[in-house]
Structure 1
Amino acid sequence: MKRNIIAGLAVIFLLSSCNNNEKMLDSLADYNNSREEKGYHFGEELKLPKEVTDHAETITISFGDKETSNLTVDPRFFTLGDNDVTFIVKTKSGETLNQDATINVFANSPEQNISYDIVADYPHDPTNFVEGFLLEGNTVYESAGLDGASKLIKYTLGSSVPSLVEKQPANIFSEGCAIVGDKIYQLTYKNKIGFVYDKNSLKKLSEFPLPNVIGEGWGLTYDGKNLIATDGSKNLFFLDVNDPSKVVRTVAVAGHAEIYDNINELEYHNGYIYSNIWHKPVILKINPATGEVVGKFDFTKLTQENDQGNSEYVLNGIAFKGDHMLVTGKNWAKIYEIAIK
């Protein structure tokens, strides 16, 4: 009789424990879902529901290769943007529960809407599918993409007729480019390689494999120390200019209430990174130290005037002429000079 009572109590305890565990996981999932859109900011505490904390011995957040038991959004563990994590809850009854979640982290300060005036425009070859766009002095260096039509071009601002053209093999889709001294570095879209050219002759000097972490080559710029690349994600990859296959650091990009992925063509100017967002008529001003978007330009009107009704003819091309910004796009017939207010 006593054995049956003990067995019955064990079953009741097990059922009660399972029920509590299920409630804890449901409560944690509901909490995570409710916070995903609102997100967090650095320094903010994750205030988990009492159904979890009252029955937990310990709570750990796993990021795959690292863990923390600190329920504060700490930049040592979290990046800006979306963070895929797993909550590991060890209950007071001795069980271990796992709950996957996405924790979005946004910049602490709202990005500024930056106003501007168009002060000049210049002709641009509308057959060029712009992927990289540079200005040095009065000389434009442009990387045009598409399979079978990719090329590196050099011409004088104000003339759409190139002085030099270096055509790519048919299997190469050219992407972003950057000037480093007397060389031009250029990414490729899906070939997992980059090229180095002589800036004056546009003759190819060498090539290098892209780092494994970069899935595709998109945008490229140079901050005077590192090359900075994008791959269509939220990330900026800082590369060793002497060994572009090596990632020095990675910075994720986000605004105050929005995660920006599809980071594309880049330009570094006066301590900030300026970036196109693929298929959006905006340019972001980004703090390279933190990835925070501090400002945003709206070029909706210019895009509508130049896309010819083709959704692929997007804004994509940033350079600086002194403190004025030059902008253009894929297959646009003009380059615009912008005075920033």
Structure 2
Amino acid sequence: MASGGKRRKNTQQAPPKHKSTLKDSITTSTPPSIHTFIKKHIFFIPLIIMMLLIVAFFLLSISSNTFRAIESHSTIKQNYVIEVVNEFPHDPGAFTQGLLYGGNDTLYESTGLYHQSSVRRVDIRSGEILAFHKMDSTYFGEGLTLFNDRLYQVTWLKKIGFIYDRNDFSKFQRFTHQMEDGWGLATDGKFLFGTDGSSTLYHIDPLNMKVLQKQVVTYNGHEVHNLNELEYINDEVWANVLQVSYPTDCIARISPKDGVVREWILLHSLRKGLLAAGRNNFDVLNGIAWDREKNRIFVTGKLWPKLYEIKLHPVRKQLHVNIKDICMPGRFQF
């Protein structure tokens, strides 16, 4: 208080009433009610501690599982755009449904459309058709893959496929499969992978065409529908995604272990280039081929006049569009 105040501090101390003891100090420092509670419930304390430990362990387990779930949904580290390394001529009348590298700068190609479906071997550099097998007019050719020097092909809207000798297309045998429809085929050299236009990736035994496993393909927890043409590249299944109302021009890179799309490849620049060159009568991007020895990737599309050799580059700038909006259309029903 400032000087001039009316009250002063009393410096005289009142005499002690009695001599304090250690027992009195302990008794007065702990309220009697707490002492009584501890004495009455002392046998329950270990049980309470155990229950608290169990609750803590349970919460820790939930947190750990939640973290793992978040981590699994965050596996997509990078998306890619492309650089065109080479452009080659491609038959603009080829409704490409299956594409794969055949060695010595050649491709095997399956084409669709009724009365026009075929299997062919094509020279990459010139676009020349080196061998040709025209399918029966009642079949609509779809996905194609090469397993043990034999070409496996599926057909649209029928659970029927064909096996060809890669050197002589006229020698073939027919098979049936267990997919809902025949869209895409690829192989890792041991098994076949197949799609039927849904979000399902099939694992198939090539000896009897029986389905060994089915996976729902997802991206950040959402199903990826309309899976189409396939290629197996460096332990991943690459898939074109079909959309009729607007082109997606995206390739999904799928882990065959869990069906999760790890990354996306954005190929919208190819369509822009064709349109800028005055090309209008072409359909969707469809067709992926991989030259394992030289690590070359080729892509084309249905009725596309060009075959492209591409390289991938990580997206450096932040995308101003949602991947789900441009690469994941709703399921299309034919």
TM-score interval (norm. to shorter): 0.5 to 0.7
Are 1:318 and 2:288 counterparts? yes
**Separation in structure 2 between the aligned mates of residue 201 and residue 215 of structure 1, nearest angstrom:** 29
> In the alignment, what sits opposite 1:222?
187
The one-letter code of the counterpart of 2:249 is P
Are 1:148 and 2:121 counterparts? no
Q: Deviations 1:93-115 (Å, cap 9, x if unpaired)? A: xxxxxxxxxxxxx8442352123
**Separation in structure 1 between the aligned mates of residue 220 and residue 211 of structure 2, nearest angstrom:** 27
Q: Secondary structure at the match of 2:85?
A: strand
| Cα drift, residue 205 of structure 1 | 2.1
**Separation in structure 1 between the aligned mates of residue 151 and residue 238 of structure 2, nearest angstrom:** 19
* Contact 1:183 1:197 survives alignment (8 Å): yes
TM-score by length of 2: 0.67
| Cα drift, residue 123 of structure 1 | 0.6
**Separation in structure 1 between the aligned mates of residue 113 and residue 193 of structure 2, nearest angstrom:** 22
**Separation in structure 2 between the aligned mates of residue 249 and residue 257 of structure 1, nearest angstrom:** 20
Q: How does 1:1-341 map to 2 (within 5 A)?
A: 43-44=65-66, 107-110=73-76, 112-137=78-103, 138-211=105-178, 214-244=179-209, 246-256=210-220, 258-279=222-243, 280-306=248-274, 308-309=279-280, 313-321=283-291, 322-341=294-313
**Separation in structure 1 between the aligned mates of residue 285 and residue 77 of structure 2, nearest angstrom:** 20
**Separation in structure 2 between the aligned mates of residue 107 and residue 173 of structure 1, nearest angstrom:** 37
Q: Deviations 1:274-327 (Å, cap 9, x if unpaired)? A: 1100122101111110111111111112123347445x7000010113322111
Q: Secondary structure at the match of 1:283?
A: strand
* Contact 1:107 1:293 survives alignment (8 Å): no
Distance 1:163 1:257, change over 3 A: same
* Contact 2:239 2:252 survives alignment (8 Å): yes
Q: Secondary structure at the match of 1:206?
A: strand
The one-letter code of the counterpart of 1:329 is G
The one-letter code of the counterpart of 2:80 is I
Decide which structure has the larger Cα Rg and report it: 2
Query: Which of 1 and 2 has higher RCO (CA within 8 Å, sep 6+)?
Result: 2
**Separation in structure 1 between the aligned mates of residue 312 and residue 227 of structure 2, nearest angstrom:** 22
* Contact 1:187 1:219 survives alignment (8 Å): yes
Structure 1 segments, 4+ long, off by >4 Å, are 42-45, 307-310
> In the alignment, what sits opposite 1:36?
none
Q: Secondary structure at the match of 2:251?
A: strand
The one-letter code of the counterpart of 1:236 is L
The one-letter code of the counterpart of 2:91 is D
* Contact 2:186 2:192 survives alignment (8 Å): yes
Q: Deviations 1:63-97 (Å, cap 9, x if unpaired)? A: xxxxxxxxx99xxxxxxxxxxxxxxxxxxxxxxxx
The one-letter code of the counterpart of 2:251 is I
* Contact 2:82 2:267 survives alignment (8 Å): no
Q: Secondary structure at the match of 1:117?
A: strand
**Separation in structure 2 between the aligned mates of residue 237 and residue 43 of structure 1, nearest angstrom:** 28
The one-letter code of the counterpart of 1:256 is N
**Separation in structure 2 between the aligned mates of residue 329 and residue 168 of structure 1, nearest angstrom:** 20
**Separation in structure 1 between the aligned mates of residue 102 and residue 202 of structure 2, nearest angstrom:** 24
Cα RMSD over matched residues?
Answer: 2.2
**Separation in structure 2 between the aligned mates of residue 168 and residue 202 of structure 1, nearest angstrom:** 10
| Cα drift, residue 160 of structure 1 | 1.8
**Separation in structure 2 between the aligned mates of residue 287 and residue 43 of structure 1, nearest angstrom:** 21
| Cα drift, residue 135 of structure 1 | 0.7
Q: Secondary structure at the match of 1:202?
A: strand
**Separation in structure 2 between the aligned mates of residue 303 and residue 219 of structure 1, nearest angstrom:** 22
Distance 1:107 1:195, change over 3 A: farther
Give 5+ residue unaligned stretches, structure 2.
1-63, 314-334
| Cα drift, residue 43 of structure 1 | 4.8
* Contact 1:325 1:340 survives alignment (8 Å): no
Across the two proteins, how many residue pairs are aligned to each other? 238
* Contact 1:114 1:340 survives alignment (8 Å): yes
